[in-house]
Structure 1
Amino acid sequence: MGIEFLITSFIIVVSPGTGVVYTLATGLSRGARASVAAAFGCTIGIIPHIAAAIGGLAAILHTSALAFHAFKYVGVAYLLYMAWNALREKGALNVDDDSQEKSLMQVTITAILINILNPKLSIFFLAFLPQFVSATEPQPIIRMLSLSAVFMLMTFVVFVGYGLFAASVRDQVISRPRILTWMRRTFAGAFVALGLKLALADR
């Protein structure tokens, strides 16, 4: 496994995106355990895109404008919903004590959906993985699966780091209502910006 793959993957993983924003928001609002659940969900959400790339479904998204845009706008709508939810007092960034009781499964499912509803991920894997698979590779599928596993592991580790950092400053945020208000607005704005970026994305 080449160092080029590891470096490229790391740059992609640490770059702010919907998964990073959600994991940070979860760490700030619900603490360390929930942030790990969010990181896990974001990682699991990569699997369908890997399967699509390996199975050729990503090529359909790439060549079919209708399929791509239909999938894309579902993702945009979900990001806008996340923005609205972030602004609500009892929404995604609720930091009351009761929020700690929120199901970790619900956090995980939300994180999975955030990553699944992004057609650019499928196209990314369609363009990204083959670059690191030699034309003479005797088992290209196995090679792509092993590279994908490394990418997922790196995603989980980095996202957990993001989430635990956010959780570590949670008490300071909770004790300052004005910071909490601006935090809600910031994350809502981030989800809107990511939604607009996805809406304007070309195949």
Structure 2
Amino acid sequence: MEIVNNVMCLLTDPEGIPLGPAMYLPQNSGPQQLQQIVNQLLNNEEKLPYAFYISDQELLVPLGTYLEKHKVSVEKVLSIVYQPQAIFRIRPVNRCSATISGHTEPVLSVAFSPDGLHLASGSGDTTVRLWDLNTQTPLHTCTGHRNWVLCIAWSPDGKYLVSGSKAGELQCWDPQTGKPNGYPLNGHKKWTTGISWEPVHLSASKHKFV
């Protein structure tokens, strides 16, 4: 039967403050067992990783192996310093990763192109702007509205873009050039706040919007 000897150990933080009184630990105890002891003594709800040092040298083996290798006497209290290790976690993106400036007034509406490569934005500066999302650079500035641009909608195939303004007008744009595609459509007596295209499967050759 193998006899496992114990060694008197004192766990301290990097400032030298003891984590309780000295205790006897089996010589086959290693970093994993010491982590369990430290987490238990600190009452950590979430088990945290720690590194352990004896005389400024990290303990990577069982205590008995370390003592034998370094000729350390088991008659003295062995001081072991525990050091918290950094924790790296992958977290969901919940912050702004990039900004694109250009409008001179608040942005009131945005819409991604069907292929996800471009973004259209409407602003209180009466313009519609087209952006390249791969390079995060402006493509075109569409001018012609008489008031705030409140809503934007891409055609299902991405070949057209329609915007509506506070003046009640609708304007169709060519996203490739940023130029108007036809004349403004007037008729609403108040603000235009929503635009919807006819589903592509209902009319593959000609698109309609309302």
TM bracket, shorter-chain basis? under 0.3
Question: When the two structures are superposed, what TM-score results if normalisation uses the length of structure 1?
Answer: 0.19
Specify which structure has the higher proportion of helix: 1
Task: Compare CA radii of gyration and give the structure with the larger one.
Answer: 2
Structure ranking higher on relative contact order (CA contacts 8 Å, 6+ apart):
1
